[in-house]
Amino acid sequence: MSLSGTLVGLTWFAASMLFIFGLRALGSPRTARRGMHMAELGMALAIGGTLLHHEIVSLTGIAVGLAVGALLGSAIALFTPMTHMPQRTALSHAFGALAAALVGIAHHGEHALALDLVQRSALSFEVMFGSLTVTGSLMAFAKLQGWLPGRPITFRGQRALNLALFAAIAGLALYAVLSPGAATQFHLMVLLAALFGVTLVLPIGAADMPVVIALLNAYAGLAASATGFALENSILIVAGALDGASGLILSILMCRAMNRPITNVLFGAFGKLAATEQGESAEGARAVQSTSPEEAALLLDGAERVVIVPGYGMAVSQAQHQVKKLSDLLAERGVDVRFAIHPVAGRMPGHMNVLLAEAGVEYDRLYDMEAINDAFARTDVAIVIGANDVVNPAARTQQSSPIYGMPILDVERARSVLVLKRSMSPGFAGIENELFHRPNTLMLFGDATKSLEHLTGELKAMAPGKSA
């Protein structure tokens, strides 16, 4: 083996180890930052090792790509607000899958006749998953960004169309594998796979976007790993396999958190518009107890234990920094303050954790659903900030509800519940929230950031324990 080949092998091995240990470090909030740095270093080594590969004949085009990619990546990192991380993640999946698909298409065009059966199979698999991930991720981005309705977009015969598309894609892929010169069938498979990505994601409601994003992450990883097999590139095989496996595991965990099978997520049309309209009309007929920042401050002034439950409304209002200020003020007054994090709160896995970490909330204050639910019965005030379906008791009491059986945060067990919300509009599932009508629930309507500012100001003006 030549010196350059040895260096490539060593750098790829080091990069693989950094990817593996970096992913392991992401399992804990305390080591997550170190894990990200390890992964970044691993990617730098992977790129550096690839540049030494003997098949590279010119660095000019690569240098242009590196410069453009670095500039775009820096701009995205600097100017994308933390509240838009779900959209940015969806775009990242689209870009990664597009790269894999383009490499596969180019490689097939140049070397199809010279590839063996395994390589052709990997190439077809790569391009198929890469193409559907590109368009599927773009549809997810459009839904998260509000360019498309968050509700499921369905039409008559949609499932039959999806099944027909899938069968056609599988048949064309098989034909391309068995017939190396079948360029027309190969490119038709690419187009149908891209169309399938659109029809697959459009009927999925915004409530299931966390699972969809994790699943698209798995698809992008599988496409990258297949690229590695087709190109005989070990670092792509390792990185893609890690990405694909972690995305699939995360999808399964998210589905378990919602007590729904993946097939139900993909084909269940969770959060139909009709349900939303029914929820809105039903809520209008029932009374709620509204409150003011002054009254809410009095409620908190006499509390010893407070649990804060963040939801997507906190992200929309960008209220995480004001949440941190309120929690710090309560802690200074001797209050035991904890944060309850539901695994599917927000629009991507870990959405609430990311926002609270950006605001500087200490990791040891964050509790997952299993760790915090027993504490609600001993909680004086539970503050719900923009969360809806993940605290809805209907998940336990109404068998006809689309969220029935989904594990929820036991907020209603607290002595008092303070809900910060813009209006009585339903959540992603489009159903009425029983919690809002409970006798121990108070609704503080308005923008979460402004409400928290007023609430914090009123609490600061009080001497600790005034209302006790």
Which residues are catalytically annotated?
A: 389
Contact 426, 392 (CB under 8 A): no
- For 229, list phi and psi in degrees, rounded to 5: -65, -40
Q: CB within 8 A of 328, min separation 6: which ones?
A: none
Angle at 49 between CA 247 and CA 19, to 5 degrees: 30
Contact 321, 359 (CB under 8 A): yes
| Torsion sign (Cα): 354, 37, 58, 187 | negative
Contact 442, 417 (CB under 8 A): yes
Q: List helix spans (H) across 80-116.
A: 85-111
Residue type, 408: I
Q: List helix spans (H) across 26-83.
A: 32-51, 60-79
Q: CB within 8 A of 458, min separation 6: which ones?
A: 293, 294, 296, 297
Neighbours of 291 (CB within 10 A): 18
Q: How many residues can be counted in the chain?
A: 468
Contact 144, 87 (CB under 8 A): yes
Cα dist from 203 to 73, 165, 390, 401, whole Å: 31, 15, 21, 19
Phi-psi region of 157 (alpha: psi -120 to 50; beta: other; left: phi over 0): left
Q: How many helices (H) and strands (E) in the chain?
A: 18, 6
Would you state the structure tokens that stand for residue 213, as one six-digit string?
């994003």
Q: List helix spans (H) across 146-272.
A: 158-178, 183-201, 209-231, 234-258, 262-267
Would you state the structure tokens that stand for residue 361, as one six-digit string?
């909330």
CA gap 176, 426 in Å, rounded: 48
Phi-psi region of 360 (alpha: psi -120 to 50; beta: other; left: phi over 0): left
**3-class state of residue 259 by DSSP:** coil
